[in-house]
A and B are shown apart, each in its own frame.
Chain A
Amino acid sequence: MYDVVVIGGGPAGMAAAIKAKELGLNVLLLDENDYLGGILPQCIHPGFGIHYFREELTGPEFAHRLKERLKELRVKVKGNARVLSIENYSDLEKVVTFVSPEGIFDVRTKTIIYAAGARERHAFEIGIVGDRVAGIYTAGEAQTLMDIYGIMPGKEIVIVGSGDVGLIMARRFALEGARVKAVIELMPYPGGLARNIMILRDFNIPLYLSHKVVEVRGRGRVKRVKVVKVDENLRETGEEFWISCDTLIISAGLIPNVKLLKEVGVEIDPATGGPVVNDRLETSVPGIFVAGNALVINDLVDYVAEQGELAAEGAKEFVENEGIGTKRWIRLKRGQNVRLLAPHYLSGERDVWIYARVSKPMENVAVEFPEIGKRIRLPVVKPAEMLRIRLRKKEIARAKGAITMEVVPL
Chain B
Amino acid sequence: MIYRFTCIVCPLGCTIEVEVDDDRVKAVRGHTCQRGKEWAIEEVTNPKRVVMSVIPVEGGRLPTVSVKTAEPVPKEKISELMRFLARLKVKAPVRPGEVVAEFDGVKIVATREA
Bound CA span A60–B98, Å: 13
Which residues in B have their C-beta under 8 angstroms from that of A46?
50, 52, 68
Query: Does A385 lie at the interface of the complex (its beta carbon under 8 Å from any beta carbon of B)?
Result: yes
Contact A146 B54 (CB under 8 A): yes
User: What number of A-B contacts does a CB cutoff of 8 Å give?
Assistant: 73
The answer to whether A60 and B112 touch across the interface, beta carbons within 8 angstroms, is yes
Closest to A58 in B: B111
| A202 near B75: Cβ-Cβ < 8 Å | yes
Q: How far is the CA of A197 from the CA of B13 in the complex (A)?
A: 11
Query: CB-CB contacts of A177-201 with B at 8 A, as 1s and 0s?
Result: 1000000000000000111011001
A198 touches B53 (CB 8 A): no
Most buried by A among B12, B66, B68: B66
Contact between B5 and A201, CB atoms less than 8 A apart: yes
Residue-by-residue, is A377-391 near B (CB-CB < 8 Å gives 1, otherwise 0)?
001101001000000
Q: A61 and B64: CB pair below 8 A? A: no
**Across-interface contacts of B64 in A (CB, < 8 A):** 147-150
Cross-chain contact A177 with B82 (CB below 8 angstroms): yes
Interface residues of A: mostly helix, strand, loop or mixed? Answer: mixed
User: Contact mask B96-109 → A, CB, 8 Å, 1/0?
Assistant: 10000000000000
Q: Is the C-beta of A86 less than 8 angstroms from some C-beta in chain B?
A: no
Given contacts A44-B66, A44-B68, A60-B111, contact A379 B12 (CB under 8 A): yes
| B-chain residues with CB within 8 Å of residue A150 when the two chains form the complex | 54, 56, 63-64
Q: Shortest CB–CB separation between residue A364 and chain B, in angstroms?
A: 12
Chain B residues with Cβ under 8 A from A339's Cβ? none
Q: Distance (Å) between the CB of B84 and the closest chain A CB?
A: 13
Assuming A44-B68, A194-B7, A198-B5, is B96 touching A60 (CB within 8 A)? yes
Q: How far is the CB of B32 from chain A (nearest CB, A)?
A: 8
Expressed in whole angstroms, the Cα–Cα distance for A58 and B112 within the complex equals 9
A: residues with CB less than 8 A from B are: 34-35, 41, 44-46, 58, 60-61, 64, 146-150, 175-177, 193-195, 197-198, 201-202, 379-380, 382, 385
* Top 5 A-B residue pairs of the complex, sorted by shortest distance between their CB atoms: A60-B112, A195-B8, A44-B66, A150-B64, A194-B6
Chain B interfacial positions (CB closer than 8 Å to A):
5-8, 11-13, 49-54, 56, 61-64, 66, 68, 75, 78, 82, 96, 111-113
